[in-house]
Structure 1
């Protein structure tokens, strides 16, 4: 019988100050690992924090808003980049403890920000997944990902993958992930609301996998502190102060079995939740439902996934 210990770290991020968040991350990982967790998940854009001002601050989405522009520049300056040396301590703890750790971040790709969920795994570079379609107002801050990051990590006990937030309502994205045979799926959310819980439990049942639905908590005061840590900015300060002075993200993380049962559930405060995952449940569930196999009609429906990186500009070698 194969069993894996999993945990979700539901914690308040260090908004905007991604370097500060990276410095705090090893302690969070160690706290979860001390209780035996081998797979650990954090919520959407834990590194840098979710851009909640797009939802909560009046006028943030208006054209040329000075506060939104100031916050965008801060995130561009702070964002994780390819081969970022700041990730080395995270990789070191993952290597030492033989962990799989999924954490969301603002990533800079050339001159744009993307919403990326990184899966750190032992002895290999982090596996990124870039959100395919930023949701609604998020398109004001994040560019789109592509099929080149729609993959899974192949651990010796099973495959691990992840999707971000409303990607769980993209049926073809779900189908592409189910095809890769996830044993554990990380569903990264800012807050696991009721409908997000439904989507996560549906994914677990449909994909016959365990789902770590990971949310975060956030207060406006943390955003103000993060802005100060980044040197401050009067326009950004005015934008943040226009938001309600209260809790803005509410956790709700949960660990879900392939039968859609909730194995562990968090409240709305900082906490770590744990569950032991009996991987035998996956094979048992596949007896009745395999949406990529015996419950599919490949002669009727066919999905093609373009996994080529979409650079936009290609320089041909003339030599």
Structure 2
């Protein structure tokens, strides 16, 4: 018999603090407190939630984005830094695995970063979105494959991708091949409209089925007041509504609990980890259902660097 192990998971749908971006991290910590009171052992927050997703880049012409881009830069997160220290402390306090999306500042460049904190508070992984999407390329640099990793956490084997990285099947397969048990998906939310939410549901349910893992998906919420603060144009404001689908999916592709499509809150569900084995017994896409002698994936997983020394010593950071 497969041993049953139950992990209580949460997907958070909350709003950032656009007026006082430095306070968004407090919303993260408060939400962790609320989740802890409900016995949550792993929680996922939205894409680049700290300090906030760059919604301005979706509704403003590039020539008008300079001021907002600089403001985002000034409030972006360094890793490690005070924001990560606060989350680490809260994770350790509540014995909770945390997946947090941040705008990471590394010298002169911003990155869309995902940070996985273990239940001890240790940072297990910091990865960067490998290809920012469309309008996002005006804001973020590109990540590399060094972060395409599945890590062993207090909740199990955890992997993460951001938004349209889920439409890169090779990126997903890279995590699948590392036998992720819990996949953490992050999307911005409050963007594009209902079609975005519909696409999101198809995407996360398909990944759960294909990989035989649980998927925890988190999107952010914007209030009407926040939408109006981003754009005064009523036509453009339509592009900042809808597109929320915070949900948890089983390895069988079933929704666990009611997804959140409006407002703030938590989706909480118990993950029976025995379902991973039960699903993969029938279809293991990177095991008995794969044909590596016919089809395989090559990953260049070294960290990229703008400089390499002729001595052959590779320095990833300067």
How does the TM-score come out when normalised to structure 2? 0.88
The structure-2 alpha-carbon separation of the partners of 1:299 and 1:17, relative to structure 1 and needing over 3 Å to count, comes to farther
* Most deviating of 82-91 and 2-11: 82-91
Quote the Cα distance in structure 1 between the aligned partners of 2:233 and 2:186: 27
What pairs with 1:231-270 in structure 2 (closer than 5 Å)? 240-242=231-233, 244=236, 248-264=241-257, 265-270=259-264
Q: State the distance in 2 between where 1:143 and 1:16 align.
A: 25
Matched length: 300
Task: Provide the C-alpha distance between the structure 1 equivalents of 2:308 and 2:19, rounded to a whole number of angstroms.
Answer: 33
Hey, which bits of structure 1, 4+ residues long, moved more than 6 A?
none
* Range with greater deviation from structure 2 (216-225 or 266-275): 216-225
Q: Structure 1 residues 317 and 304 mapped into 2: Cα distance closer, same or farther (>3 Å)?
A: same
Runs of 5+ unmatched residues, structure 2:
190-195, 314-318
Contact 1:5/1:37 (8 A) holds in 2:
yes
| Equivalent position of 1:236 in the other structure | none
Deviation at 1:245, TM superposition (A): 5.3
**1 or 2, which has the higher strand percentage?**
1
Alignment match of 1:135 (pick from 133, 136, 144):
133
8 Å CA contact 2:13, 2:264 repeated in 1: yes
Task: Answer whether contact 2:187 2:219 (CA < 8 A) is retained.
Answer: yes
Distance in 2 (alpha carbons) for counterparts of 1:56 and 1:316 = 45
1:22 matched residue in structure 2: 25
Change (3 A) 1:181 1:77: same
C-alpha distance in 1 between matches for 2:49 and 2:79 = 18
1:309 aligns with 2:303: yes
Residue pairs, 1:36-185, within 5 angstroms: 36-57=39-60, 60-61=61-62, 65=63, 67-121=64-118, 122-156=120-154, 158-185=156-183
For the 8 Å contact 1:218–1:249, the answer to whether it is kept is no
Cα drift, residue 117 of structure 1:
1.4
Tell me: CA distance 1:148–1:257, structure 2 relative to 1, closer, same or farther (3 Å).
same
Partner of 1:197: 201
Q: TM-score, normalised by structure 1?
A: 0.88
Cα drift, residue 242 of structure 1: 3.7
In structure 2, the residue matched to 1:279 is 273
